[in-house]
């Protein structure tokens, strides 16, 4: 089916509202946009509006950015209505420049303009995009539990630092309260991790990929669960290099014209927590994996910067994660079988 046979609808999602824009080769600022509530009645209003524009469901292609929980109900409604939709990385949309032939869209920054920009992106690239589908309920539970655990860990570090740095100035009762709070937070971390394991056990698909991930030296519960959440259980990311770019561990050249020739480096953008968790994972992996330890020592002897080597090892681990999931078999360190 040819690209022009589809009707592309861009949706800018916020907590309370949806801005939807219909793109048919040009931006119709007056009649091609509608704002509705981000709720069931709003979705039905959007459905009526699409009918008034003579858009058929089987020809409709809806596109929106990843906005976490805000888009969850809308995605559920789209699936119930059997409407094909795509989720786009916000960073990709941020760098997307609509064709110059489409007047006015580049200079305007509003929710309406963003919706049209997403619709234009959809019209250009939907044939190469994979339709999205909501992951299982386990995915959303894991996502919330990971966020809860991060909060406990963050608070634990704060209390631990206070007990180490300034407890000498506190009263005895104040120190006792902080110590009790620290113990409670550590218990909460363990309880949260136990609940995460229970959720993983409840979903066979998630459990299968989790077992494959933790077979890799250095990978534990947090890194495995985070990777499953960020990739929607390896459905939104199937290419390890794209995932490495998403969490900002893939190096990119830094150059412009003939005057700027910087060293190849990683982006400072990306999902920082996944990158930080991988840093801890790398230290454990190097302690127990002879191949990675040998790689570290060899690169250090060559004079490579420690941060560059650590980043390369993170990428190696990402490659291993995607490899075991693709093969469907646990990781085997073939280095140990070499004579």
DSSP codes joined into one string, 97-134: ---TTSTTTTT--SHHHHHHHHHHHHHHHGGGSPPP--
What is the per-residue pLDDT across 3-20, written as a single tens digit (0 to 9) for each? Answer: 447 899 999 999 999 999
High-pLDDT (> 70) share of the chain, %: 90
Distance, CA of 117 to CA of 96 (rounded, Å): 8
Structure tokens at 299: 């690169």
Rg (CA), the chain: 24
Residue carrying structure tokens 């509003």: 110
Q: Nearest-CA neighbor of 244 among 210, 204, 278, 196? A: 278
Residue 337: is its pLDDT beyond 70? no
What is the per-residue pLDDT across 270-320, written as a single tens digit (0 to 9) for each? Answer: 467 788 889 888 988 998 899 999 999 999 999 999 989 999 999 999 999
Percent helix / strand / coil, the chain, rounded to 5: 60, 15, 30
Return the H-helix or E-strand segment holding 93.
helix 90-94
**Domain map (residue ranges) of the chain:** 3-128, 240-337
3-128 is classed in which CATH architecture? 2-Layer Sandwich (3.30)
What is the per-residue pLDDT across 245-254, written as a single tens digit (0 to 9) for each? Answer: 888 886 544 3
């Amino acid at each position: 089916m040819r690209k022009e046979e589809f009707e592309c609808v861009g949706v800018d999602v916020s907590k309370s509202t949806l801005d939807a824009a219909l793109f048919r080769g040009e931006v119709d600022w007056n009649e091609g946009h509608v704002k509705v509530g981000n709720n069931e009645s709003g979705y039905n209003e959007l459905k009526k509006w699409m009918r008034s524009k003579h858009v058929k469901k089987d020809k409709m292609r809806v596109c929106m950015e990843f906005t976490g929980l805000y888009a969850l109900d809308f995605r559920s409604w789209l699936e119930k209505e059997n409407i094909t939709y795509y989720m786009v990385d916000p960073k990709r949309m941020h760098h997307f420049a609509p064709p110059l032939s489409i007047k006015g869209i580049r200079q305007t920054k509003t929710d309406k303009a963003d919706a049209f920009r997403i619709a234009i992106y959809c019209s250009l690239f939907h044939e190469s995009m994979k339709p999205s589908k909501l992951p299982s309920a386990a995915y959303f539970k894991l996502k919330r539990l990971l966020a809860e655990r991060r909060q406990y860990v963050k608070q634990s570090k704060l209390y631990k630092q206070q007990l180490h740095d300034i407890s000498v100035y506190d009263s005895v009762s104040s120190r006792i309260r902080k110590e009790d709070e620290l113990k409670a937070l550590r218990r909460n971390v363990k309880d949260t991790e136990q609940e995460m394991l229970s959720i993983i056990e409840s979903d066979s698909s998630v459990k299968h990929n989790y077992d494959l991930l933790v077979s890799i030296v250095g990978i534990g519960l947090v890194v495995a669960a985070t990777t499953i959440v960020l990739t929607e259980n390896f459905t939104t990311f199937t290419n390890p290099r794209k995932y490495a770019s998403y969490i900002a561990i893939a190096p990119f050249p830094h150059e412009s014209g003939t005057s700027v020739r910087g060293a190849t480096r990683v982006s400072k953008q990306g999902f920082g927590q996944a990158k930080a968790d991988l840093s801890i994972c790398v230290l454990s992996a190097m302690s127990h994996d002879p191949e990675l330890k040998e790689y570290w020592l060899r690169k250090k002897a060559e004079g490579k910067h420690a941060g560059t080597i650590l980043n390369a090892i993170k990428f190696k681990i990402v490659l291993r994660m995607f490899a075991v999931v693709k093969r469907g078999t646990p990781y085997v360190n073939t280095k140990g079988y070499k004579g």
